[in-house]
Amino acid sequence: MPERKVIVESEVGLHARPAATFVQTAAKAPIDVTVAKPGGAPVSAKSILSILALDVKNGEAIVIHAEGDGADQLLDELAAIVSAP
């Protein structure tokens, strides 16, 4: 079960455009993808409302989990989105 712990480095965290890009990338994948704050309940990465409800801020950590074929590549793509300056 691959997962990545990522520090959110975007100035706007997972809000607005980064969140939309994140959800679009996750939604294209035919596999299950979830996101959570460390120790928190995971939410679907394919729902913009779920992602925005996380209220992730710059400098906070999140855990992205994906299960299925291509999970590692997808996790790399999603990690790049949330750690972009």
The answer to whether residue 15 is catalytic is: yes
Question: Do 13 and 74 form a contact (C-beta atoms < 8 A)?
Answer: no
Which of 4, 15, 37, 65 is labelled catalytic?
A: 15
Confidence of residue 1 (pLDDT cuts 50, 70, 90): low
Q: What is the pLDDT of residue 76?
A: 95
pTM of the model: 0.89
Cβ atoms of residues 54 and 43 within 8 Å: yes
Distance CA 37, CA 57 (A): 11
- Determine the Cα–Cα distance for residues 81 and 25; give it in Å rounded to an integer: 9
Which tokens sit at 68?
């299925």
- The pLDDT, as a whole number, for residue 10 is 83
In this predicted model, what pLDDT tens digit does every residue of 8-42 receive, in sequence order? Answer: 988 778 887 888 999 999 999 999 999 999 999 99
